[in-house]
Amino acid sequence: MKKEDNTKPAYKKDYLYMAYRGKEYLWLAFAIISVVIAMYQLVSGSTREETWYFIGLTFLSGLFYSFNRYRRIKFEKREAEKENSK
């Protein structure tokens, strides 16, 4: 029989929290993939216009990553305050 881990906060099992965390990692993956593709296109000699799309996608993905990270951290603080007030 498994013992339940009581050291983990309850909100970390919440689907909304997992969605925040999942979207955060998804945007980070998009940023990393677009950096790799942009570097490959610069090295392979593709036109600069094609490369700018992936450079723009990198900055956009980084912006969305930071926004989702900020929102997740805010969610964690709010949930931790709720647990401490009980």
Identity (one letter) of the amino acid at 33? I
Check residue 33 and give left, alpha or beta (phi > 0: left; psi -120 to 50: alpha). alpha
Contact criterion met (CB below 8 Å) for 84 and 26: no
- Compute the distance between CA of residue 86 and CA of residue 43 in angstroms, rounded to an integer: 57
Per the structure block, which two tokens stand in for 18?
């997992």
Return the pLDDT at 14.
76
Q: For the whole model, what pTM was predicted?
A: 0.74
Q: Where are the domains of the chain?
A: 48-86
Q: pLDDT of the chain along its 86 residues, tens only?
A: 455 556 666 667 778 888 888 999 999 999 999 999 999 998 988 788 888 888 999 999 999 999 999 988 898 898 888 888 87
Angle at 28 between CA 22 and CA 29, to 5 degrees: 90
* pLDDT (0 to 100) of residue 47: 81
Q: What pLDDT does residue 5 have?
A: 55
